[in-house]
Structure 1
């Protein structure tokens, strides 16, 4: 057992990212049943919808699972209450100060993990009392750190500063990527894009098909004035780029973004007008697969890479 399998009481040190519009109870329970840690993505759920997904997840798996909670949402108090009421044992927090909720959750016996994009924030999370951190590099899909530090440089920098377990995220979809992250100091990995393109993902099939056809260079980080986000270069993305040429104000960007654009793209399947969040690693994802097969392929690839590494000579 390593630090992450021990912390969560799971078979493999693989955590499924709690992605908005992708991570319902079907995906979370499938990942947990296959030996990883599934996370329900609270970011795209009204409080009562989240409660329903937690209850369904408890029926779908007897294995540990958690909830990912971005702390920038206005109904955060209600969401935290539901997590406690429903007996959720693991919470991943992001997009906010870990001090705000960590002690509250820990007092309820909940294991807390915080997502960071720099060693400075990793230290703050450790000081706040979290049980582990996810260090997410610039390659990741969705909302991203302003520092634009890649996973390969971020991991050893964070490892140097903290004593608690470290989970790597950003650009990991294979067993080889997992081994590389662990050699750089990670105790486990968080995988997003690869699970977004799974049978059990709650994303629209149009979006899943787009992930497997998005090539190297098909995504880019944008909207840094609001909150940096990595998007597929579709019609909406091109509209954002065209607006940038006019030196827009923050209000101009907010107006273009509008409401529910991520839902329109990832959940409803509008590939033109939707906000399509996916990581750079999509260029290495070639088919939509069941979760169990994804995890087994990762473990097999990890073991093969380990054997190859053992035979390296200089």
Structure 2
């Protein structure tokens, strides 16, 4: 047991990232049933869809699970009310000021974790009263920090400044990676990409198959003028780069992005025109497995890594 497993009442210090278009109730409940903490990704769900997923998750697992809420969405108040009404006990917030919701959620008996990309925001989250922070490095998929701090540098810097539990994210998909993050000072790890490549992930099979074929350098952090996001290099990504080459304004970039681009790519399987978000560590992964197999692999390798002496 450590600070995170006690905080969430889970067996393993492994948290599944609440990714848009990947993290439905099937993924969240499978991770929780396997001994980690599953998260439903509210960012790609209308409020009524989120309620349905929470209710189905409660039927699919008797273990703790949570909801990830990006606070930049316009219907966040309705989402938070559904979370409270449905009795969800763990909320991960991101993309916003932790002061906005932390005290309110904690008054309702909810454990609150905030996702940050810098020491400055980790300290602000701690001051806001969160129970833990996720420090996410530049390697991560999806929306990312502008600072481009890598996980290797971010985790020890955040650890040095905060006293609350620390969860490492970004570029972690194996037991050895988990061990390394803990050596750097993390109490647990959050994995997105590794769980996106599972049979229980709600993303399209086309997307999953593409992930299994990615290599080193096949993703890139872009669109910093809007919201930094790590994308697979496909036609849509190339369209963005062409716009930059022509001196695109923020409005131009918004026009290229359009609407529902991430849904088109990850959920509907359009690998050409879709926005395909994933972490750099996808280049290491070649197999789509069940969640149970993934968690077993991670914990087995983690234990072996701890038991193996370092040779000099």
TM-score under structure 1 length normalisation: 0.99
1:58 is aligned to 58
Rounded Cα–Cα distance in structure 1 between residues aligned with 2:213 and 2:175: 21
Alignment correspondent of 1:135: 135
The alignment covers a number of residue pairs equal to: 312
Structure 1 match to 2:47: 47
Task: Quote the residue 2:287 is aligned against.
Answer: 287
Q: 2:310 aligns with which of 306, 309, 312?
A: 312
- Superposition map of 1:130-209 within 5 A: 130-209=130-209
Deviations 1:80-120 (A, max 9, x none): 00000000000000000000000010000000000000000
Q: Where does the alignment leave 5 or more consecutive residues of structure 2 unmatched?
A: none
- The 1-side partners of 2:87 and 2:290 are apart by 28
Q: 1:224 deviation in Å?
A: 0.5
* Structure 1 residue runs without a partner (length 5+): none
Deviations 1:144-177 (A, max 9, x none): 0010000000000000000000000000000000
Residue number in structure 2 paired with 1:215:
215
Superposition pairs for residues 2-151 of structure 1, below 5 Å?
A: 2-151=2-151
CA RMSD of aligned residues (A): 0.5
Deviation at 1:312, TM superposition (A): 2.2
Partner Cα distance (1:287, 1:313) in 2 = 30
Deviation of 1:307 after TM superposition, in Å, equals 1.5
Specify the SS of the correspondent of 1:149: coil
- Point out 4+ residue stretches in structure 1 off by more than 3 angstroms: none
- Distance in 2 separating the partners of 1:135 and 1:312: 27
| Partner Cα distance (2:279, 2:193) in 1 | 6
Equivalent position of 1:253 in the other structure: 253
In the superposition, the TM-score normalised over structure 2's length comes to 0.99
CA distance in 2, matches of 1:266, 1:189: 24
SS of equivalent residue, structure 1 residue 208: helix
